[in-house]
Structure 1
Amino acid sequence: MPDALETMKTLIEEINKHNYAYYTLDQPSLTDAEYDPLYDKLVQLEAETGTVLPYSPTQRVGGELLKGFDPHRHLARLWSLDKAQNHDDLMAWHTRVQKLVNDYNTQHPDDPLPPLSFVVELKFDGLTLNLTYDHGELVQAATRGNGVVGEGILANVKTIRSVPLRIPYTDGIIEVQGEGIMNLSVLEAYNATAAEPLKNARNAAAGALRNLNPKVTAERKLNAYFYNIGYADSLQVQNHQEMVGFLRDNQFKVSPFVEFVDSIDAVEEELEKLVAMRNTLDFLIDGLVVKITDMRTREVLGYTNKFPRWAVAYKFEAEEAVTTLLDVSWNVGRTGKVTPLAQVEAVDIGGVTVQNCTLNNMDDIERKNLKYGLGSLVYIRRSNDVIVRP
Structure 2
Amino acid sequence: MFPEHSPAWMTEDLAMFRDSVRRFVEQELAPTEERWIEERRMSRDMWRRAGRAGLLCASIPEEYGGGGGNFAHEAVITSELSRAGVTSFGNNVHSGIVAHYLLRYGNEEQKRKWLPRMATGELIAAIAMSEPGAGSDLRAVRTRAVRDGDHYVIDGSKTFITNGINADLIIVVVKTAEGTGSRSVSPVVVETEGLAGFQRGRNLAKIGQKGQDTSELFFSGMRVPCANLLGEEEGQGMFQLVQQLAQERLIVAIISAAAMQRAPDLTVEYASTRKVFGQRLLDLQNTRFKLAECKTYTSLAQVYVDDCIGRALAGTLDVETAAMAKWWCSQHYGTVVDECLQLFGGYGYMEEYPIARMYVNARVTRIYGGSNEVLKELIARRLDPATPVRRATG
TM-score by length of 2: 0.23
The structure with more helix, counted as a fraction of residues: 2
TM-score normalised by structure 1 residue count: 0.24
More strand by share: 1
In terms of Rg, which structure is larger? 1
